[in-house]
Amino acid sequence: MPSDYTVKAVTFEINGRKISGISNGNEQGKLLLCLHGWLDNAASFQPLLPYLTNYHVIAIDWPGHGLSDHRSTDAHYHFLDWVYDLIALFRTQQWQAIDIVGHSMGAMVACSFAAAFPEHVRTLTLIDAIGVLTADEATTTTQLRKGLLSRLSRNISTKKYHSSLASAVEARMQVSDLDKANAKIIVQRGIEQTAQGFKWRSDNRLRSTSPYRLSMTQAEQIVADIKTPAQLIYANKGMSMVAKGLKRFGPLFKTLTVHKLIGGHHVHMEQPEQVVTRINAFIHQQEFKEE
């Protein structure tokens, strides 16, 4: 593994709130933006960083995650608000077209962003996710009821504390396929120590049920509007919905390269060198076409 790399903290102010992240690599190089999944944080990309020193890599914590601020007390975490966070970040930083890597929810947000704002996405790499989440239109009312009742329960619930970092790591492992080393990487950025014990930094409202989902027709239109060259890197033991999504959404992409690796949902943490090899090859291929 390369050893000559330095991880730096970065912060951005978006709409009066802080978005935190990590950065490394050649700050004069091409920007590569990494977007993490639900209830993860920027540290989930840390295993990739030693192999991405040719780029200026920035991995952000979504609002409510990691070290970023939570949304205001009268707000919630709608899926499309993540897309707004992204375009606000691009406009404040005056970023033009850059390469984006998204994992899980971050990949779904990136799909929607690439469709709506193609001028800002040079290439799109999706890790163990494709398209966006959908629901049958017949469940609209049921989804609305569940989502709003879920908000009420989250508003009155209290934070859980762990007696130690090890306890928090074990809890994270129980709800994912992460091994201990990778779970610790994510947990260390996503937890803080208080007088009562270790508590999660993430906003409790993130766990609320969404009161709405896009229909399949809407999701298909979003994917069909992605003009950006895209690649999917997914795992043989990852999310089952990815294989189904590939069949449904794959043919709708203008350009889609697909790689299947051995691993789980966090395959980019398990197989960082293999994932970076495919990211590099894909980006370089697009550079060659542009020449």
List, by residue number, the catalytic residues. 104
Q: What is the 3-state secondary structure (H, E, C) of the chain?
A: CCCCCCCEEEEEEECCEEEEEEEEECCCCCEEEEECCCCCCHHHHHHHHHHCCCCEEEEECCCCCCCCCCCCCCCCCCHHHHHHHHHHHHHHHCCCCEEEEEECHHHHHHHHHHHHCHHHEEEEEEECCCCCCECCHHHHHHHHHHHHHHHHHHHHCCCCEECCHHHHHHHHHHCCCCCHHHHHHHHHHCEEEECCEEEECCCHHHHCCCCCCECHHHHHHHHHCCCCCEEEEEEEECCHHHHHHHHHHHHHCCCEEEEEEEEECCHHHHCHHHHHHHHHHHHHHHHHHHC
Residues near 274 by beta carbon (within 8 Å), at least 6 away in sequence:
261
CB atoms within 10 A of CB 138: 8
CA distances from 45 to 65, 155, 217 (A): 14, 31, 32
